[in-house]
């Protein structure tokens, strides 16, 4: 049985710098919040963000899934593929479009910004991106190997967590045992009460004298 594989984009340093420069210029000109270039597997390749806390990996995976679902829907109605998607919200809108048939350019912008301007600047940049990506190479990543590494990593983390938890449990048990040993017996309490009674009687006799 042949093992399945995923294609991973391999970029040279110069290609990566050119992509980053083009995307940064697009965000500057269009004044949008977020731009991400995504490969067909849903992995972010390059991006320019207004908010550095933007979850680029999660957004990229969801957008790639949206395109896959939209393509399947298009086939049902006789269309070959979807070239762009626009999701309009009250405050934020999302525009995504195909780049060189194997990539997706995602743009997130404030709904106050005119979509026509965003689309115009985006398509100007897409030509630049396609020129950069025309000589891009791919590397096959075996799915079985990736799953095995992930499983091994997960098991290792569980073992480390178990090792960290066991000493804590042992410490609690020792503390409980120690507390039990320090508790006074009934004989010790009786002896203490007897001594206290004798001291009190002695003190009363001295006061009578």
- Mind listing the pLDDT tens digit for each residue in 145-161? 545 444 454 454 444 44
Q: Domain containing 57 — which CATH number? A: 3.30.450.30
User: Is residue 36 assigned to a domain?
Assistant: yes
Structure tokens at 53: 């806390």
Instruction: Identify the pLDDT of residue 3.
Output: 41
User: Is residue 42 assigned to a domain?
Assistant: yes
Domain of 65, in residue numbers: 11-133
User: Is residue 138 assigned to a domain?
Assistant: no
Residue 168 clears pLDDT 90, i.e. is over it: no
pLDDT tens figures, 1-30: 344 556 778 888 999 999 999 999 999 999
Q: How many structural domains compose the chain?
A: 1
User: Is residue 102 assigned to a domain?
Assistant: yes
User: Is residue 3 assigned to a domain?
Assistant: no
User: Is residue 155 assigned to a domain?
Assistant: no
Per-residue pLDDT band at 124 (split at 50, 70, 90) = very high
Per-residue pLDDT band at 143 (split at 50, 70, 90) = low
Higher pLDDT, 85 or 196: 85
Higher pLDDT, 102 or 189: 102
Residue 172 clears pLDDT 90, i.e. is over it: no
How much of the chain, in percent, has pLDDT values that exceed 90? 51
Residue 163 clears pLDDT 70, i.e. is over it: no
String of b and e for 138-155 (b: at least 16 CB within 10 Å)? eeeeeeeeeeeeeeeeee
User: Is residue 168 assigned to a domain?
Assistant: no
Please list, in sequence order, all residues whose beta carbon lies within 8 angstroms of the beta carbon of residue 101, skipping any fewer than 6 positions away.
none
Instruction: Identify the pLDDT of residue 11.
Output: 87
User: Is residue 159 assigned to a domain?
Assistant: no
Output the average pLDDT for the chain: 78
């Amino acid at each position: 049985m042949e093992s399945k594989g995923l294609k991973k984009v391999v970029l040279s340093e110069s290609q990566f710098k050119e992509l980053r420069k083009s995307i940064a210029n697009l965000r500057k000109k269009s004044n949008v919040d977020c731009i991400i270039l995504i490969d067909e597997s849903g992995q972010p390749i390059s991006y320019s963000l207004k908010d550095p806390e933007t979850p680029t990996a999660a957004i990229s995976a969801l957008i790639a899934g949206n395109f896959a679902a939209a393509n399947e829907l298009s086939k049902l109605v006789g269309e070959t593929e979807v070239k762009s998607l626009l999701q309009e919200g009250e405050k934020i809108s999302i525009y995504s479009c195909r780049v060189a048939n194997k990539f997706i350019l995602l743009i997130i912008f404030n709904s106050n910004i005119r979509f026509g301007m965003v689309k115009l600047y985006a398509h100007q940049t897409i030509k630049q991106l396609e020129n950069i990506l025309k000589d891009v190479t791919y590397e096959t990543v075996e799915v079985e190997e990736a799953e095995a590494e992930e499983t091994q990593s997960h098991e290792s983390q569980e073992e480390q967590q178990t090792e960290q938890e066991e000493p804590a449990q042992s410490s609690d048990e020792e503390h409980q045992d120690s507390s039990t040993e320090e508790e006074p017996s009934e004989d010790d309490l009786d002896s203490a009460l007897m001594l206290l009674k004798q001291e009190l009687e002695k003190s009363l006799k001295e006061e009578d004298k």
